[in-house]
C-alpha cells in the first residue's frame, strides 16, 4: 500500500503514518470512538480560548482512565498540553505494567515535550487523529506564520520505540475547521 493511503473494510481502517513509513497498524471502531471523544475535548478547549487539542487515556481492558484538554490560555502555562497531563496522571496512578498496556488517544500528534513525557513514564500505544504536519499545513492556509520555540519533531523522532498510529483521515476535515476557528478567533482578539 502506498504511503499516505488507506482503505475501509470489515469495520477497520488501515492508516499509514504520513511522515515516515507505514505502521501496518489498523484502527478499530473502539479507537475511532476514543478519537471522537478527543475531538470533543479539543472543541471544548477552543470554546474557552484554549488550543484545539484533547486526549484520552485508555487502559488495556478498554476502560477510559483519564482525559484532558489543552489549558494553555486559561492557565497561562504553555506546558498544559493534555498528553503531558495524562503522562503525569499515569505516573501517579498506574503501576509500570498498567502504563505499558495503556493507550493514549489524542486529537493531534504529540509534540516533542509530550512524546518525551509519554516515553519516560513508560506508556504504551499512541493513536492520533491528525499529524503535526497536517496542523502546520492548516495554519499555513490562513497565512499564519508558525514559529514555535521547539522544533516540530515527530513522535518517532523523539521516541522511536513507541507504537504510533495516525493520522486517521476521517477526522481531517473537522480538525482542519477547528484549527481554523481557533486561529481566527485568536487573531480577532488581537
Ligand atoms: Zn505537547
Answer whether 0.75 is exceeded by the pTM.
Answer: yes
How much distance in Å is there from the Cα of 126 to the middle of ligand 1?
13
CA atoms of 101 and 57, how far apart (whole Å): 11
How much distance in Å is there from the Cα of 117 to the middle of ligand 1?
9
Residue 36: which of 118, 135, 105 has the closest Cα?
A: 105
How much distance in Å is there from the Cα of 112 to the middle of ligand 1?
6
How much distance in Å is there from the Cα of 28 to the middle of ligand 1?
25
CA atoms of 52 and 43, how far apart (whole Å): 6
pLDDT of 189 reads 85
CA atoms of 32 and 18, how far apart (whole Å): 18
How much distance in Å is there from the Cα of 110 to the middle of ligand 1?
5
pLDDT of 116 reads 98
Residue 28's alpha-carbon distances to 12, 68, 70, 102, 127, in angstroms, are: 5, 22, 25, 16, 11
How much distance in Å is there from the Cα of 81 to the middle of ligand 1?
5
Q: What is the pLDDT of residues 94-127, one digit of tens each?
A: 999 999 999 999 999 999 999 999 999 999 999 9
Residue 71's alpha-carbon distances to 40, 43, 174, in angstroms, are: 14, 12, 20
Q: What is the pLDDT of residues 50-93, one digit of tens each?
A: 999 999 999 999 999 999 999 999 999 999 999 999 999 999 99
How much distance in Å is there from the Cα of 106 to the middle of ligand 1?
10
Amino acid at each position: 500500500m502506498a504511503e499516505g493511503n488507506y482503505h475501509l473494510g470489515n469495520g477497520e481502517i488501515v492508516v499509514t503514518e504520513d511522515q515516515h513509513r507505514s505502521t501496518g497498524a489498523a484502527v478499530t471502531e473502539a479507537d475511532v470512538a476514543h478519537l471522537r471523544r478527543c475531538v470533543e475535548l479539543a472543541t471544548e478547549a477552543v470554546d474557552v480560548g484554549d488550543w484545539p487539542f484533547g486526549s484520552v487515556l485508555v487502559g488495556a481492558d478498554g476502560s477510559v482512565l483519564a482525559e484532558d484538554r489543552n489549558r494553555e490560555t486559561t492557565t497561562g502555562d504553555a506546558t498544559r498540553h493534555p498528553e503531558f497531563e495524562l503522562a503525569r496522571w499515569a505516573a501517579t496512578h498506574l503501576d509500570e505494567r498498567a502504563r505499558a498496556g495503556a493507550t493514549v488517544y489524542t486529537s493531534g500528534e504529540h509534540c516533542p515535550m509530550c512524546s518525551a513525557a509519554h516515553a519516560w513514564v513508560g506508556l504504551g500505544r499512541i493513536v492520533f487523529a491528525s499529524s503535526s504536519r497536517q496542523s502546520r499545513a492548516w495554519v499555513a492556509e490562513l497565512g499564519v506564520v508558525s514559529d514555535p520555540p521547539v522544533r516540530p519533531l515527530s513522535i518517532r523522532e523523539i521516541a522511536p520505540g513507541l507504537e504510533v498510529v495516525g493520522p486517521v483521515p476521517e477526522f481531517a476535515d473537522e480538525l482542519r475547521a477547528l484549527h481554523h476557528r481557533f486561529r481566527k478567533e485568536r487573531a480577532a482578539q488581537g
